[in-house]
Chain A
């Protein structure tokens, strides 16, 4: 990959002086673009180039899962800017951003952790940190990036600057699983890793039914890290989320009805079971894709939750954590996401009904519209103030941009098997 970005420091500092009121990150823009860009796109890139500056606050990164690539995009221009290759197995890959919104940390399925410089359109650093991983989180102070691993089960924490290993938190051994192929005791898979206030990471142990809090507020030396463990939290936590204010950590349970909640303002109270008994006596349908909990919609006093194995969105009171209503939906929901203004929720669905999106009103719970964007709608991301939503339509190799108010299609961008869409404003949100 060619990168011709050369800093002329005299020019650069002059520019910084001139534009000293800008709080965005500035840098010279890269001229690297891939071969198959359509002409109109190249024209757009040239226009951006002529300014020689690129702010990152309206940018994003989209996973192209089948080819191990990502696309860097701008959501004001609705344009693709660059493509980065060689990122390994990106099925189920996710991204967090550095607090200066310059670097994207990509968590691959094959244990790859890649730091991408979205100003220069290149890989800044890349390490293979495990055999099999499932997402990660960045600390409140932006100095640590943590990765949640299946093999070997545990959490590894890295310095965001250098990607050097800072801490290796090994998960609990599962004696019944014997030894791994490499002859070490099998440790529980770790899921639902998020950041929390006071430089903490919280995660769930799938095989041993635990929730752990790793507190890095005193430092990241071995003796400074404080780990709090909650055991018997419910069987097989498969994913988790943290409320946007960083107070509640909630893990979904595969092995039983209900969810496990930790109130981080009162950890002394332990884990509370919520939505207990929900679904009892109802015959569940086969689940071909487990719902995602990240992006759980919280609007007003309600949380909107994907039901497991049922064609419903559950409405939960965030005061009592009891289920207060349910919204019938097209199929089994995967992501239930609230617009930034919380006025509507957008829902996508599990295979084989994953060509559809439904939009519901959060006040009346009424269906606003049903869209069929195309085969395998995998993910949604709202622009920071919510006027647009981007949808990845994997099997038609498209990302579609909709107006959230009118639910009309504004633009289609061509991408290869797109999955996760991540905009840089996530850099400043707890739990994302």
Chain B
């Protein structure tokens, strides 16, 4: 492994560690389990494709409201988590608690605020980047 690869590897690791830290910090001992890269990819796919069927694949909104960072970043994290976990009665938003864990919902809520699911260069690019990153880890 040359120096550059090592550096990139460490950089990626530290980013992940900080994400992880904030997750465990916010949720306490219940969510100490780490979300695997594979699961994160699945969640990204699910947000784009399945949340996307109402909120738009690029999260700009559809029958459901827009979920772009500028629209959700000022909303309390707990509000986003509760909306995803339990749905909103009187609207088409279903409860996802039978499909997602609380930890996964937290990760998605934070991702919505940070813009994890939207990328400047089109929807597909990010998926590729994610997959590429995943491969790097396996090496």
Select A376's contact among B49, B63, B94, beta carbons within 8 Å.
Answer: B49
* Interface residues of B, dominant DSSP: loop
B92 and A68 contacting across the interface, CB-CB below 8 Å? no
A132 B123 Cβ-Cβ under 8 A: no
User: In the complex, are the beta carbons of B50 and A287 less than 8 A apart?
Assistant: no
Bound Cα distance from A191 to B90, whole angstroms: 19
Assembled-state Cα–Cα distance A351/B63 (Å): 17
Q: Are B92 and A132 in contact (CB under 8 A)?
A: no
The listed residue (A151, A238, A395) touching B61 by CB distance below 8 A is: A151
- Number of residues on chain B facing chain A (CB within 8 A): 26
Q: Are A67 and B124 interface neighbours, CB within 8 A?
A: yes
Pick the contact of B94: A92, A150, A286 (CB < 8 A).
Answer: A286
Residues A142-196 near B (CB distance < 8 A): 150-151, 189, 191
Any B CB within 8 A of the CB of A402: no
Interface centre among B52, B58, B94, B99 (most CB of A within 10 A): B94
- A223 CB to nearest chain B CB (Å): 33
* Nearest-neighbor residue (CB-CB) of A150 within chain B: B62
Answer yes or no: B95 CB below 8 A from chain A CBs. Answer: yes
B92 A89 Cβ-Cβ under 8 A? no
Given contact pairs A89-B123, A287-B92, A376-B49, A109 touches B57 in the complex (Cβ within 8 A): yes
Q: In this assembly, does A206 line the interface, its C-beta being within 8 Å of a C-beta of chain B?
A: yes
A91 at the interface (CB under 8 A from B): yes
B101 touches A (CB below 8 Å): no
CB B51 to nearest CB in A, in angstroms, measures 9
Give A189 to B64 CA distance when docked, in angstroms: 11
**Minimal Cβ-Cβ distance residue in B for A235:** B90
Task: Judge whether A290 is part of the interface by a CB distance below 8 angstroms.
Answer: yes
Residues of B within 8 A of A (CB): 45, 48-50, 52-54, 56-58, 60-63, 87, 90, 92, 94-96, 98-99, 122-124, 127
A interface residues, Cβ below 8 angstroms from B = 65-68, 89, 91-92, 109-110, 131-132, 134, 150-151, 189, 191, 206, 238, 254-255, 286-290, 351-352, 376, 394-395
